[in-house]
C-alpha cells in the first residue's frame, strides 16, 4: 500500500495547476454532456453499425477526447505536448484506429451465421466479447513489433511477472459495497448482467444441459475481454507513449477510457475516468498490467454477480 501511495505522491508533485484542473473539468463535463444529452454513441454512431462509418465514428470520437486533453495540457501548463515527432502522431493514429476497429469490426457474425435460432444468438454474444480480445491482441501486437519490440517493454506490461497483488485485493474489497449499492439502481439492473442477453438459459433448455455450463463459458470469455482492455489502455496507451509524453500520458488515456464507456450508464462513464487514472498511474510506475487485470476482472465479475442476485 505504501508503494502505491508513493506512486501517487510522486505523480502529483508539481503536476497540476488551477488552469489545468479547470480545463480538465470543462473537457470532461463537455464530453459527458455531449454524449448523454444527445445519446450520441447509441443514437448516432451505432446507427452505422457494420459499415465503415461505424469505424470512422469511433475513431473520431476517441481521437477527439485524447486530443482535447492534449490541447488542455499544452495551453494551461508549460508542457508543450503538441510539439511531438512524426512517429508519435503516426502511433497515436494507429492506436485510435485499433480501438475503433475493435469496437466496430463484426467478423464474428460470419461464424454465428453458421448456426440458427438461440445457438446463433449465444455464439454471437460470446464471440462479440472474444472479438475485442482477438483484434486488440493482434493489432496492438503488430504496432509493438513495428515500434517497440526492442525497447524492453515486454509487450506493454504483459510480461508474466505478476507483482504483489495484495493491494489490488484490498482495492477490490473496497469496491464491493460500492458495487452492491449501485446494483439497486434501475440503470444498473437494466444493463447487467450481460449474460441475461446471451440466450444461455435457452441454450440449456434446448441442449438439455445444466445452465452453469453456458454461464461459465460466457463469463470466462467476458472476463478475458478485460485483459485486452488493460493491454490497450494501461499497456499500449501508457507504456507505449511514455517516452513521448512522460507523466502526461495518463490523463489523455483516462478521458479516452471514459469515452470507451459512453455506451454504458453515465455513472459508470464518470467512475471510469477516476478508475482509468488510478490504474494508469500504477501502470506508469510499475510497468506491469497484472494488478490492473486482476482488479478490472474482479470488478466486472462482481457487477455480474450482484446483478444476478437481483434477477
Give 212-243 pLDDT, tens digit per residue: 999 999 999 998 888 999 999 999 999 999 99
Is the pLDDT confidence value at 185 over 90?
no
CA dist., res. 43 & res. 34, Å (int)? 12
Grid cell 464518470 — which residue?
270
Is the pLDDT confidence value at 35 over 80?
yes
Is residue 201 within 8 A of residue 211, CB to CB? The reply is yes
Using pLDDT thresholds of 50, 70 and 90, give the confidence band for residue 306.
Answer: confident
Is the pLDDT confidence value at 16 over 80?
yes
pTM for the structure as a whole: 0.87
Is the pLDDT confidence value at 265 over 90?
no
Can you tell me the mean pLDDT for 4-29? 91
Can you tell me the mean pLDDT for 50-59? 94
Is the pLDDT confidence value at 162 over 60?
no
CA 71 distance to own-chain centroid: 22
pLDDT at 106: 84
Is the pLDDT confidence value at 54 over 80?
yes
Using pLDDT thresholds of 50, 70 and 90, give the confidence band for residue 1.
Answer: low
CA dist., res. 147 & res. 257, Å (int)? 23
| Backbone angles phi and psi of 271, in degrees to 5 | -65, -25
pLDDT at 161: 65
pLDDT at 153: 73
Is the pLDDT confidence value at 163 over 70?
no
Is residue 262 within 8 A of residue 40, CB to CB? The reply is yes
* Domain ranges across the chain: 2-309
Can you tell me the mean pLDDT for 282-301? 88
Is the pLDDT confidence value at 72 over 60?
yes
Is residue 58 within 8 A of residue 99, CB to CB? The reply is yes
More reliable by pLDDT, 174 or 31:
31
| Backbone angles phi and psi of 16, in degrees to 5 | -90, 145
C-alpha closest to that of 297 among 175, 187, 177: 175
pLDDT at 164: 67
Mean pLDDT lowest among 84-88, 158-162, 189-193: 158-162
C-alpha closest to that of 66 among 97, 41, 108, 44: 97
Is the pLDDT confidence value at 40 over 60?
yes
pLDDT at 24: 96
The overall average pLDDT reported for the chain is: 90
**100-158 pLDDT per residue, tens:** 999 998 888 888 888 888 999 999 989 988 888 899 999 999 999 999 888 777 889 88
More reliable by pLDDT, 171 or 254:
254
- Neighbour-count burial of 106, counting CB atoms closer than 10 A to its CB (0-12 exposed, 13-18 middle, 19+ buried): middle
* Termini Cα distance of the chain: 36
More reliable by pLDDT, 154 or 9:
9
CA dist., res. 71 & res. 116, Å (int)? 50
pLDDT at 255: 97
**254-264 pLDDT per residue, tens:** 999 999 999 88
Is the pLDDT confidence value at 292 over 90?
no
Can you tell me the mean pLDDT for 16-37? 95
Amino acid at each position: 500500500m505504501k508503494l502505491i501511495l508513493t506512486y501517487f505522491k510522486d505523480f502529483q508533485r508539481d503536476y497540476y495547476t488551477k488552469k489545468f484542473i479547470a480545463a480538465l473539468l470543462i473537457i470532461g463535463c463537455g464530453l459527458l454532456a455531449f454524449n448523454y444529452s444527445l445519446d450520441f454513441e447509441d443514437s448516432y454512431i451505432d446507427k452505422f453499425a457494420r459499415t465503415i462509418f461505424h469505424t470512422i465514428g469511433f475513431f473520431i470520437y476517441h481521437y477527439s477526447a485524447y486530443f482535447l486533453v492534449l490541447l488542455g495540457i499544452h495551453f494551461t501548463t508549460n508542457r508543450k505536448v503538441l510539439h511531438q515527432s512524426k512517429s508519435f502522431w503516426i502511433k497515436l493514429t494507429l492506436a485510435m484506429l485499433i480501438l475503433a476497429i475493435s469496437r466496430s469490426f463484426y467478423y464474428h457474425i460470419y461464424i454465428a451465421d453458421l448456426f440458427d435460432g438461440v445457438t446463433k444468438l449465444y455464439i454471437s454474444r460470446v464471440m462479440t466479447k472474444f472479438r475485442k480480445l482477438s483484434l486488440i491482441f493482434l493489432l496492438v501486437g503488430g504496432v509493438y513489433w513495428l515500434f517497440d519490440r526492442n525497447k524492453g517493454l515486454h509487450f506493454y506490461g504483459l510480461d508474466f511477472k505478476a507483482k504483489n497483488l495484495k493491494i489490488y485485493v484490498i482495492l477490490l474489497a473496497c469496491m464491493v459495497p460500492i458495487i452492491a449499492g449501485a446494483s439497486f439502481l434501475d440503470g444498473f439492473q437494466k444493463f447487467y448482467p450481460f449474460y441475461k442477453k446471451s440466450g444461455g438459459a435457452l441454450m440449456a433448455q434446448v441442449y438439455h444441459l445444466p445452465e452453469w455450463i453456458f454461464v461459465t463459458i460466457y463469463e470466462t470469455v467476458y472476463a478475458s475481454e478485460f485483459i485486452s482492455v488493460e493491454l490497450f489502455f494501461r499497456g499500449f496507451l501508457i507504456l507505449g507513449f511514455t517516452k513521448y509524453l512522460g507523466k502526461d500520458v495518463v490523463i489523455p488515456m483516462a478521458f479516452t477510457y471514459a469515452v470507451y464507456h459512453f455506451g454504458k450508464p453515465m455513472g459508470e462513464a464518470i467512475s471510469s475516468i477516476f478508475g482509468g487514472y488510478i490504474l494508469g498511474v500504477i501502470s506508469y510506475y510499475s510497468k506491469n498490467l497484472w494488478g490492473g487485470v486482476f482488479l478490472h476482472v474482479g470488478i466486472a465479475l462482481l457487477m455480474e454477480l450482484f446483478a444476478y442476485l437481483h434477477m
